[in-house]
Structure 1
Amino acid sequence: MSTFNVPKREEVSEKNQSIFDSLEKAVGFVPNLFATYAHSENALENYLNLSNAKTSLNAKQKEVVNLAVSEVNNCIYCLSAHTAIGKMNGFTEGQILELRSGQASFDSKLNALASLAKNLTENRGAADDRVVENFFNEGWTKENLIDTIVLVGDKTISNYLHKTTNVPVDFPVAQPLEVATI
């Protein structure tokens, strides 16, 4: 698989240059995957609007979903980025590894969320009834279910973009789950 080029600021449209400037201010750099969206006039803005949209899930809960989905989809870029973001949201290395496997023994409510995210991704949206029932039994709502499904879609988009373009990972690279747990 060939690697796509990561466009530089001067190689993208004025609209995308403005988004690059905003990312630079907010994050300190323009992540390679976000820059790759800028090959399209509209994709970067559209993706960021989806990714930053209001949701019933807080930042920590979103990372639970992002880690489980990215593991199922085997996306090293997103696993690396969300490992770093997960740590910024207070998860330990061990907790992040569990979340990647679709589990959270340290919190039953997050366990139900991780299990649902993994199950939805593995089954292309056809979640097992028992997984959904457990999700609701842990106190999640129908709104949380819908928002989780939207987030699974959001993360899947980025997973697919990286797996197709193979742009370089510009975060500390996450170890494969089986290596990290030995």
Structure 2
Amino acid sequence: MTSQEKVTFEVPTKDQVSVKNQAIFDQMQKSFGTVPNLYATFALNETALPDYLALQNRKSTLSAKEREIINLVVSQVNECEYCLPAHTMISKMHGFTDEQILEIRGAQITFNDKYDALAKFVKDTTVNRGRASEEAADVLFDAGYTQANVIDIIMVIGDKIISNYLHNFTKIPVDFPEVPNI
């Protein structure tokens, strides 16, 4: 292939992935009724899908809501057309309203000061490639977050950057309901 030929990514079917990934597809199908297109795309590589799932499902000092705040903020910064709808749906399952989700995505949370400190730190960290401002860090720690929490925050930011970048490059079809732009 020449450098001028465009590579197009297709979402693989179960029979197009390794046996190990086929088993993961079966588990997802059983648990969720579907295999999301982005997870299926990870399965084009024999080890990427199980590795990514291990990262996503690791134990954390952060609550599920806090992890979703991070997922939404990072996906907004990275303009990921796949992860924003996916995490909007997941955030609703964790009790956030449509209005709250828009505030989270903009890192301007009015309904919870601790969440606002987290969102601002995440946005600052993501925009500045890991170099959060001293002010954002101070506000985060003043809100009650610990050094252990910061490590988990960075881990979740990294997780989300991986999936954002994978979609932003592959542009595989989004299989979640559309969300408004902000």
TM-score, L = length of structure 1? 0.95
What's 2:88 paired with?
83
Alignment pair present for 1:100 and 2:100:
no
Distance in 2 of aligned mates of 1:119 and 1:25: 38
SS in structure 2 of the partner of residue 76 of structure 1 = coil
What's 1:180 paired with?
none
What's 1:20 paired with?
25
Distance in 2 of aligned mates of 1:64 and 1:155: 11
What's 1:63 paired with?
68
Distance in 1 of aligned mates of 2:110 and 2:71: 17
Distance in 1 of aligned mates of 2:181 and 2:30: 31
CA contact (8 A) 1:103 1:114 kept: yes
Distance in 2 of aligned mates of 1:36 and 1:99: 27
Of 151, 158, 168 in structure 1, the residue corresponding to residue 163 of structure 2 is 158
Distance 1:37 1:142, change over 3 A: same
CA contact (8 A) 1:2 1:166 kept: no
CA RMSD of aligned residues (A): 1.0
What's 1:37 paired with?
42
Q: How does 1:111-150 map to 2 (within 5 A)?
A: 111-150=116-155
Give the percent of matched residue pairs that are identical in Structure 1 and Structure 2.
51
Q: Deviations over 1:77-135 (max 9, x none)?
A: 00010000011110000100010011211000000111111111100000000000000
Of 11, 14, 21 in structure 1, the residue corresponding to residue 16 of structure 2 is 11
How far residue 3 of structure 1 moved from its aligned partner, in angstroms, is 4.4
Mark the runs of 5 or more structure 2 residues left unpaired by the alignment.
1-5
Distance 1:135 1:70, change over 3 A: same
Distance in 1 of aligned mates of 2:7 and 2:81: 16
Q: Deviations over 1:51-87 (max 9, x none)?
A: 1111111111100000000000000100010000011
Distance in 2 of aligned mates of 1:161 and 1:75: 9
SS in structure 1 of the partner of residue 82 of structure 2 = helix
What's 2:3 paired with?
none
Distance in 2 of aligned mates of 1:27 and 1:3: 27
SS in structure 2 of the partner of residue 60 of structure 1 = helix
CA contact (8 A) 1:24 1:30 kept: yes
CA contact (8 A) 1:77 1:169 kept: yes
TM-score, L = length of structure 2? 0.95
Distance in 2 of aligned mates of 1:69 and 1:151: 9
SS in structure 2 of the partner of residue 41 of structure 1 = coil
CA contact (8 A) 1:66 1:155 kept: yes
